[in-house]
Amino acid sequence: NKKGFIFDLDGVIVDTAKYHYLAWRDLASELGFEFTIEQNEMFKGVSRKRCMEILLDIGGITATKNQFDTWMVEKNVDYLKYIDKMDASEILPDVGRVLDFLKKRNIPIALGSASKNAQPILEKVGLLSYFDTIVDGNNVTKAKPDPEVFLLAAKQLGVKADDCVVFEDAVAGIEAANKANMVSIGIGDKNILSEAQYNFKDFTEMDDAFLNGLLAGN
C-alpha cells in the first residue's frame, strides 16, 4: 500500500515550542503570575484558545470575553515577533535529511499542525515546497487529541489512514495519531511520549533502515 507521512510543525520541524512558551510566559507575567516550562508541556499540540483557557486557570483569573480575546491576540503578536526572525538555521537536526529521503522516493508528505501560523513559518525556513498538503489550525474544527487534523491530511494525500505515519512531539498529538490508527512516532522525551509506538529523541537517531522499515511495513 502507498504510505503517507504526516509531520507536526511546532517542536518537530522547528523549535517554535520555545517561542510559544516565551509568549505565554510574557503574558502570564503581565497578568501577575508565573508560567513554568513544565506547565508548558500541556500547551503542546493544543489550540491557541485552549492554551488561553488553561493559562487563565493556572493564574486563577476570570476574564471577560473581551479580555480573553485581547490577551489571545496579544500573545500571538508577541509570538509573531519571535518567529519573525526565523530562518533555515532553526530547522531541527536532520529534519531535512528525512524530508529528502521521502521526497526522493516520491512519498506523499503532509503537515498536520494545530497552528494558524504554520504556512508562514514553513515559508520562512524554506521547507514549504516539500509538503503536498498543509492541514493546520485554519482547516480543522476539533483540536488534537481529536484525530481530525491527521484524518484530513491522509484524505488530502489520498492515502488510507492505516498507511500513514505521524511524527509528533506532543502528548495530545500522539493520542490523535493513535486514534486515527496511524503509526505514531514520538519525537522528544520518551517518558512524556510513552503512548507513542516508536520513540526518538530527535531525527538524528532515525536512520534509513528504520525509514525503509516504515515504508515496507504491513
Distance, in Å, from the CA atom of 30 to the CA atom of 87, rounded to the nearest integer, reads 29
122 counts as binding Mg ion under rule CB under 5 A: no
10 counts as binding ligand BG6 under rule CB under 6 A: yes
59 counts as binding ligand BG6 under rule CB under 6 A: no
Residue number with CB closer to ligand BG6 (3 or 48): 48
Question: 146 a known binding residue?
Answer: no
Question: 184 a known binding residue?
Answer: no
CA-nearest of 167, 170, 137, 186 to 4 is 167
Angle between helices 208-216 and 95-104 (to 10 degrees): 40
208 a catalytic residue: no
Contacting ligand BG6 (CB under 6 A), which of 7, 19, 45, 55? 45
Residue number with CB closer to ligand BG6 (117 or 184): 117
Binding mask 107-136 for ligand BG6 (x = CB under 6 A): ------xxxxx-------------------
CA atoms within 13 A on the CB side of 176: 29
Q: What share of the chain is helix, strand, coil (3-state, %, to 5)?
A: 50, 10, 35
Residue number with CB closer to Mg ion (59 or 96): 96
Question: 75 a known binding residue?
Answer: yes
78 binds, among Mg ion, ligand BG6, none (CB under 5 to 8 A by kind): none
Contacting Mg ion (CB under 5 A), which of 140, 170, 171, 211? 170
- Phi, psi (deg, nearest 5) at residue 100: -65, -40
Strand, helix or coil for residue 115 = coil
Distances (CA, A) of 47 to 51, 72, 83, 120, 180: 6, 11, 18, 17, 19
Question: 10 a known binding residue?
Answer: yes
Beta strand residue intervals within 20-156, DSSP E: 109-112, 133-135
10 a catalytic residue: yes
**Where along the sequence are the contacts to ligand BG6 (CB under 6 A)?**
9-10, 20, 43-48, 51, 76, 113-117, 137, 170
What is the set of active-site residues? 8, 10
**Where along the sequence are the contacts to Mg ion (CB under 5 A)?**
8, 10-11, 169-170
